């Protein structure tokens, strides 16, 4: 089964290729987004470099001990994050929720000293959660202690080591070890006592009112919250809780803590975010980025800005302008349609580093090894893409930390969406207009082709006879050319049909006289007895038969010539030489006429057949002789015009009838009067001479034209043939 596709359907299918335009535009914008991301990455590395430049070679900004540690000992080296609000010293720990993720668990594995004989080491029944934090110029500490037996200091006791107590050790500004103890009589507000300089000694020398807090009983033990100035320590710090379980003997059993408070070289460090660095970063909170400064152990020293607003750059939506109907269409139809494909940047997302006090990542690790780097990551809820760039901070050619700058790609995504919105507007308009134009164009073409079909069918009746002609049209395009071609074909078919219809009458007219002569001669010869009269009648009959033979030979000449042309191989010949040779022969054959030859070129190379060319000239000369009189001059002229050669034969005589110039080149068309055509019984005129000449000219890719002379005193036949290249 053959499927039929109309022109409209074909153009509609071809219009589907317009859908490649949005795909190409979409891919282009995505590629542009990749370039923008690369640019954002380079910009962020540049921002990190600029911030790091402000921190290079400034050792005072970093902790003198913790920044130079080769290794950080979790639980011993303490990190004091900034606390959003001052801690209320009530022993309830609710104020620590913001930084509770940094707390450390201490127990049997963190026993820093034993009291008594080694063989009598008791089981460890004390453990606690501990962390420190900073607010302003103060360091806060909390201890959530699990203790099976809480022993208070006796009300009349002067010794501070015969009950559960907390030891605090710091390295002061002069580099000396200072120890403090808190041993309360009961729960409530507490202060510390300063201990003497004797290693391991417990003699209190003075009250230390700068250390203050609360000791509060809990269901599993007790809780401690303390506060003391940061200025009390240069960074070295140790806490230890000493457990006393027997209220009768009050013997110290063991101490669990961050480090041994009696050994200065074993103390841990406390790292607090640097206020000086935070002041340097404070202006960057307006830079549309989140900036971190970490030490060489990836602990946060300072931060500025919020990642929720760090979009890289702001994209402001321009105020909508234009017609209200367009704004409604865009907001309620187009944009909802587009955002089935596009994704809007989230208004909020999960930030896993919110409140983080230690960072990790290959970009930071690379920066701490001395090589700037960047890292792309997804937020935990996969709503945002976050880019971070890290740059090392140098002090005396050593990496002491890194600057980390973070931004989301929300700004780029918004810009991408804005570009795609405008691109989709244009593409949608182009596709709609293009499809509509193609449809209208296809409809117009289909209608014109259909009209041409209907008009063509209308001029041909059911019997195949051409009964009209196609209307004239102005030639604009190929369909008009096709219309003209159809009109020409129909015209030629009509002429051919007329020729076929008239052929019988023409043949009957031409054959009637010789047949009548033969019949009358044969009918009469039987009645005539005189031999001389019979000879005359026989001669008349033979003359009629000869004329019939001549007519039949003339009619078959055109057919034989067509077969000869089909079998003829083209070759180069000189038309000037052929014309010169033929004219010499015509002067002898037609001695009653004068022939004048004019050749305006040296040679005329044509591709075809010299013999056929001579036969064509014979027919034209014979026609000129027949329409001229004795003593007339027949002029033959050969010349070049452009890339063609022209041959003209001019003879005096009667002019051509009006509108017969082209008809005379057709078969069996003649304008001779009947008496002229029947003057010679041996040479009847069937109008085939110019028809054969035109056939030969067509074989040589040329044409024949008939024209009256301007003064109507004769006829000029012009043959135009292309020169061989």
The domain ranges of the chain are 21-61+277-325+355-417, 78-272, 462-563, 568-725
pLDDT of res. 212: 93
What H or E segment, with its residue span, contains residue 413?
A: helix 410-458
**C-alpha dist (Å) from residue 56 to 393, 396, 679, 705:** 6, 9, 128, 101
Residues 371-393, mean pLDDT to the nearest whole number: 90
Give 462 or 44, the one with higher predicted confidence: 44
Residues 6+ apart with CB under 8 A from 525: 534, 537, 538, 541
Q: Classify the phi-psi angles of 510: left when phi > 0, otherwise alpha if psi is within -120 to 50, otherwise beta.
A: alpha
440 pLDDT band, cuts 50/70/90, is confident
Residues 522-557 have pLDDT tens digits of 777 777 777 777 777 777 777 777 767 766 666 666
Of 126, 139, 150, 149, residue with least CA distance to 257: 126
| Mean predicted confidence (pLDDT) in 162-170 | 92
φ/ψ of 608, rounded to 5, equals: 165, -130
**Where residue 559 falls among pLDDT bands split at 50, 70, 90?**
low
204: CB partners within 8 A, 6+ apart? 160, 181, 193, 194, 195, 196
Tokens of 672: 């001779």
Q: What is the pLDDT of residue 675?
A: 47
Q: What is the mean pLDDT of residues 161-169?
A: 91
Fold of 568-725: Heat Shock Protein 90 (3.30.565)
Q: Residue 664 and residue 599: Cα distance in Å, rounded?
A: 27
Closest CA to 270 of 259, 254, 281, 255: 259
Could you list the beta-strand ranges (E) of 77-198.
78-79, 104-106, 111-114, 126-135, 138-147, 165-171, 177-182, 188-195
57-85 in b/e form (b: 16+ CB < 10 A) is eeeebbbebbbebeebeebbbbbbbbbee
What would be the CATH architecture of the domain defined by 21-61+277-325+355-417? Answer: 2-Layer Sandwich (3.30)
Q: Mean pLDDT, to the nearest integer, of 444-460?
A: 84
Q: Is it the case that residue 69 has pLDDT exceeding 70? A: no
Angstrom distance (rounded) from CA 53 to CA 372: 13
pLDDT at 184 over 90: yes
Average pLDDT over every residue of 107-123: 75
- What DSSP character marks residue 333? I
Residue 187: per-residue pLDDT: 92
Q: What is the pLDDT of residue 679?
A: 47
Residue 598: strand pairing partners: 637
Per-residue pLDDT at 678: 47
CA angle 248, 253, 259 (to 5 degrees): 140
Helix or strand or coil: residue 323?
coil
CA 716/CA 634 separation, integer angstroms: 10
The pLDDT value given to residue 342:
66
The residue-averaged pLDDT of 373-378 equals 90
| Phi then psi dihedrals of residue 139, to 5 deg | -105, 130
Instruction: Please check whether the domain covering 78-272 is classified as CATH 3.90.600.10.
Output: no
pLDDT band at 680 (very low <50, low <70, confident <90, very high): very low
pLDDT of res. 686: 57
Please give the residue that has the higher pLDDT: either 506 or 422.
422
Judged against a pLDDT cut of 60, whether residue 65 lies above it is answered with: no
* Of residues 405 and 136, more confidently modeled: 405
Mean pLDDT estimate for the chain: 81
Is pLDDT of 385 > 50? yes
The predicted structure's pLDDT at residue 677:
47
pLDDT higher than 70, residue 450:
yes
Look at residue 372 in the predicted model and tell me its pLDDT: 93
Distance CA 545, CA 519 (A): 10
Per-residue confidence (pLDDT) for residue 445, from 0 to 100? 82
Split at pLDDT 50, 70, 90, the class of 146 is very high
Report the pLDDT value the prediction gives residue 434, as an integer from 0 to 100: 76
The model's pTM is: 0.52
pLDDT at 681 over 60: no
| CB burial of residue 581 (10 Å; 0-12, 13-18, 19+) | exposed
Residue range 250-267: mean pLDDT, rounded: 87
Contact 596, 580 (CB under 8 A): no
Q: Is the dihedral angle over the CA atoms 695, 697, 699, 702 positive or is it negative?
A: negative
How much is the pLDDT for 225?
94
What is the pLDDT, as a whole number, of residue 671? 57
Q: Which residue has the tokens 């729960």?
A: 187
Residues 6+ away with beta carbon under 8 Å from 595: 583, 586, 587, 633, 634, 636
The residues, ordered by sequence, that sit 6+ positions from 148 with a Cβ below 8 Å of its Cβ are 125, 126, 221, 245
pLDDT of residue 192: 94
């Amino acid at each position: 089964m053959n499927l039929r596709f109309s022109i409209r359907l074909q153009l509609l299918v071809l219009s589907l290729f317009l859908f490649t335009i949005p795909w190409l535009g979409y891919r282009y914008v995505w590629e542009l987004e990749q370039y923008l991301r690369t640019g954002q990455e380079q910009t962020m590395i540049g921002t990190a470099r600029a911030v790091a430049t402000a921190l290079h070679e400034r050792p005072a900004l970093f902790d003198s001990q913790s920044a130079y540690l080769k290794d950080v000992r979790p639980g011993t080296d303490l990190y004091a994050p900034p606390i959003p609000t001052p801690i209320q010293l009530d022993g309830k720990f609710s104020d620590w929720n913001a930084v509770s993720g940094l707390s450390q668990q201490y127990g049997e594995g963190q026993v820093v000293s034993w009291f008594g004989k080694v063989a009598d080491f008791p089981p460890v029944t004390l453990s606690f959660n501990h962390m420190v934090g900073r607010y302003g110029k103060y360091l806060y500490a909390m201890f959530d202690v699990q203790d099976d037996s809480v022993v208070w200091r006796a009300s009349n006791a002067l010794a501070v080591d015969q009950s559960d107590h907390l030891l605090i050790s710091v390295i002061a500004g002069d580099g000396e070890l200072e120890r403090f103890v808190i041993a309360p009589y009961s729960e409530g507000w507490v202060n510390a006592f300063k201990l003497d300089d004797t290693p391991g000694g417990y003699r209190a020398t003075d009250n230390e009112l700068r250390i203050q807090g609360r000791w509060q009983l809990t269901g599993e033990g007790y809780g401690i919250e303390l506060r003391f100035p940061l200025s009390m320590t240069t960074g070295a710090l140790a806490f230890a809780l000493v457990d006393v379980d027997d209220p009768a003997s009050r013997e110290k059993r063991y101490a669990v803590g961050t480090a041994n408070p009696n050994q200065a070289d074993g103390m841990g460090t406390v790292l607090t975010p640097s206020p000086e660095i935070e002041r340097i970063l404070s202006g960057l909170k307006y830079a549309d980025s989140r900036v971190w400064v970490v030490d060489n152990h990836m602990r946060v020293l300072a931060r500025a800005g919020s990642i929720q607003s760090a979009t890289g750059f702001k994209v402001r939506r321009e105020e909508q302008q234009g017609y209200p109907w367009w704004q409604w269409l865009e907001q309620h139809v187009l944009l909802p349609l587009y955002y089935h494909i596009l994704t809007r940047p989230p208004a909020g997302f999960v930030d896993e580093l919110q409140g983080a006090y230690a960072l990790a990542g290959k970009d930071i690790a690379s920066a701490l090894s001395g090589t700037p780097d960047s890292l792309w990551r997804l937020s935990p809820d996969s709503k945002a893409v976050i880019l971070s760039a890290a740059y090392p901070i140098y002090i005396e050619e050593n990496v002491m930390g890194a600057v980390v700058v973070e931004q989301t790609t929300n700004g780029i995504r918004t810009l991408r969406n804005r570009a795609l919105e405008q691109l989709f507007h244009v593409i949608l308009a182009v596709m709609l207009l293009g499809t509509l134009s193609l449809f209208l164009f296809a409809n117009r073409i289909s209608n014109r082709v259909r009209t041409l079909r209907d008009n063509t069918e209308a001029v041909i009746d059911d019997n195949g006879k051409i009964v009209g002609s196609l209307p004239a049209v102005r030639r604009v395009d190929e369909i008009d050319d096709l219309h003209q071609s159809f009109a020409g074909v129909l015209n030629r078919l009509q002429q051919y049909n007329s020729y076929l219809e008239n052929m019988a009458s023409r043949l009957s007219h031409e054959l009637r006289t010789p047949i009548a002569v033969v019949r009358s001669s044969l009918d009469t010869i039987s009645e005539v007895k005189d031999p001389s009269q019979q000879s005359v009648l026989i001669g008349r009959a033979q003359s009629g038969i000869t004329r019939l033979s001549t007519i039949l030979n003339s009619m078959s000449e055109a057919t034989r010539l067509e077969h000869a042309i089909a079998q003829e191989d083209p070759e180069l010949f000189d038309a000037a030489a052929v014309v010169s040779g033929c004219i010499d022969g015509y002067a002898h054959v037609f001695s009653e006429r004068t022939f004048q030859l004019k050749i305006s070129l040296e040679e005329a190379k044509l591709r075809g057949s010299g013999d056929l060319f001579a036969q064509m000239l014979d027919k034209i000369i014979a026609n000129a002789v027949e329409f001229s009189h004795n003593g007339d001059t027949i002029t033959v002229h050969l010349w070049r015009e452009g890339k063609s050669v022209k041959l003209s034969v001019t003879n005096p005589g009667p002019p051509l009838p009006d509108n017969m110039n082209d008809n005379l080149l057709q078969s069996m068309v003649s304008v001779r009067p009947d008496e002229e055509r029947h003057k010679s019984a041996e040479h009847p005129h069937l109008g085939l001479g110019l028809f054969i000449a035109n056939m030969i000219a067509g074989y040589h890719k040329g044409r024949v034209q008939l024209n009256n002379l301007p003064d109507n005193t004769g006829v000029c036949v012009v043959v135009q043939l292309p020169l061989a290249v």
